Amino acid sequence: MGLPRRIFEAEPGSFRGQFNRLPFSFSHNLGNHPLFDLPRLTRLCRTLDRIPGRTSFQSANSRVTQGWSVPLPTEVSSAAQAIERIHESGSWVLLKSIQEDPEYAELLRQCLAELQELTGEDLRREITWSDAYVFIASPRAMTPYHIDHESNFLIQIHGEKDVNLFDPSDRSILTEEEIERYYIGEMSAAVYREEVQKKAHVFRLKPGVGVHHPVRAPHWVQNGEDYSVSLSVLFFLRDFDLQARVYQVNHYLRKLHLSPTPPGQSALRDAMKILPLGNLGHKPRTKSEVIRFGYKKFIAPVIIGRRVMNRLRGRSVAPARNLSPGPS
């Protein structure tokens, strides 16, 4: 089950003008590759099921505005079963960190090496987290509107889908407040509004075609009439991790009725905001820890103090919000 000599079909440097600025489509050589046929993916799913948090599934019958509050499909009881019956199960399945399997690990290594060449970026130095996901979805499945922290290259393997992507720098689409709430753990913070749909870049993906998602680019996806299999090669970048810390501080400054400066407008202010969170870094075990460990540790004394005060007042305290990320 060998890999193509090259995965991305593009001239060196052709991605440079738009990488992490605007969405763009590209060609690739993984269309209908046997690593992504349903029996092989079912086997991969059963392997990943042994590791907590590596697989998830939900109903394909969601709405663009639904966020990640999507119920489980009623026809199946596991991610592996959802894949086996993907034609009729009405399911949306996510397999995370597929590089746990050596065959997919080699695929991820080759993709990252080619992207370093094509983007002209020193990705080996800038990447703080890299991963590979597979999305398997039933016919006409919808992925709700959301944003992600990662830079993503979405590679269509089987079936067709329309990917609606928006400019991440357009604040009439994605507000500063939405970004701030996302970085403190509200995974559905980005709110879809019909009036901005006219600004969407709509990409029709089919086997052999992919699309680049810049960091924080809002998006939603509609499958075609066949089941869909897509590979996501994704990574975090150091500069955007630092921006995340600025947004986390800005969230609390805004709660104090201040008007915080967005990242990138003042290097001095950014540095002052990053300092208390940046010095609390450690080797991350999960994607969430890359961008939220320092913030969670920084606010922990506040949460503890609040609980103590409420206990002294004889009032029960609601449990802390779960900050674990939803699907990407």
**Measured distance CA(252)–CA(259) in Å, rounded:** 10
Average pLDDT score over residue span 18-27? 95
Residue 31 has pLDDT above 70, yes or no: yes
Same domain, residue pair 264 and 216:
no
Per residue in 291-305, pLDDT (tens digit) is 877 777 666 555 555
Structure tokens at 270: 């950014």
Q: Is the dihedral of CA 12, 17, 21, 26 positive or negative?
A: negative
N residues, the chain: 328
Structure-token pair, residue 143: 């992925």
> pLDDT per residue over 58-96, tens digit each?
999 999 998 887 888 877 899 999 999 999 999 999 999
- The answer to whether residues 132 and 162 belong to one domain is yes
- Nearest Cα to 28, choosing from 233, 221, 308? 233
Domain boundary among 190, 210, 237: 237
Cβ-based neighbours of 215, under 8 Å, separated by 6 or more? 20, 148, 149, 150, 151, 168, 237, 240
Check if the beta carbon of residue 22 is closer than 8 Å to that of residue 173.
Answer: no
Per-residue pLDDT reduced to its tens digit, 229-244: 999 999 999 999 999 9
Q: What residue numbers bound the domain in which 297 lies?
A: 239-312
DSSP conformation class of 51? S
Give the pLDDT confidence of 174-196 residue by residue, as tens digits: 999 999 999 999 999 999 999 99
Asked if residue 270 and residue 231 are part of one domain, the reply reads no
**54 and 155 together in one domain:** yes
Are residues 261 and 217 located together in one domain of the fold?
no
Give me Rg for the CA atoms of the chain. 20
